[in-house]
Amino acid sequence: MKLERRSEKIASLPKFIVRVGRYAMYAFVLILISLAIGMVGYHWIADLNWIDSLYMSSMILTGMGPVSPITCNTGKLFSSFYALYSGVAFLSCTAVFFAPIFHRIMHILHLDEED
């Protein structure tokens, strides 16, 4: 995940598009891993079926909130920790996705006049 330094020339548009695609793939993989953690936890710990586990972990991961009632204490504890994890994971995925875009903007703004 190497980006050009301030003293280097800005990446060409095709290289930049490939870079954005690669970072989007990294963010997508992080989201899939986070979703899988939630699905497995809600299925095994909170005793929800797979579809409800997917729905619940998707809603928690995106910040929408819980949708299925959790009755057992272990399920409530998992749901609490997963919600805390999801807040950090979603923001991290957003940062990974937008990193090359912000880097390019900052690189353009800091170019010397003669470049």
18's CB contacts (< 8 A; 6+ apart) are none
Domain presence at residue 54: yes
Looking at residue 111, what is its pLDDT? 59
Domain presence at residue 26: no
| Domain of 83, in residue numbers | 36-109
Number of domains in the chain: 1
For the stretch 43-76, pLDDT in tens is 999 999 999 999 999 999 988 888 888 989 999 9
Domain presence at residue 4: no
Domain presence at residue 81: yes
Predicted confidence (pLDDT) at residue 113 exceeds the cutoff of 60: no
| Contact status, residue 84 vs residue 91, Cβ threshold 8 Å | no
- How far are the Cα atoms of 15, 49, 89, 95 from residue 27, in angstroms, in the given order? 18, 27, 10, 9
Predicted confidence (pLDDT) at residue 18 exceeds the cutoff of 80: yes
Cα Rg, the chain, nearest whole Å:
19
- When pLDDT is cut at 50, 70 and 90, the band that residue 115 belongs to is very low
Q: Can you tell me which residue has the tokens 């409530």?
A: 76
Three-state DSSP class for residue 10: coil
Going by C-alpha positions, the residue among 48, 43, 49, 37 that lies closest to residue 83 is 37
What CATH number does residue 89 fall under?
1.10.287
- Name the token pair of 34: 């986070």
Looking at residue 51, what is its pLDDT? 96
- pTM of this structure: 0.78
Summary mean pLDDT of the chain: 88
- Name the token pair of 2: 């190497």
Going by C-alpha positions, the residue among 94, 56, 93, 100 that lies closest to residue 78 is 56
Mean pLDDT of 12-31: 90
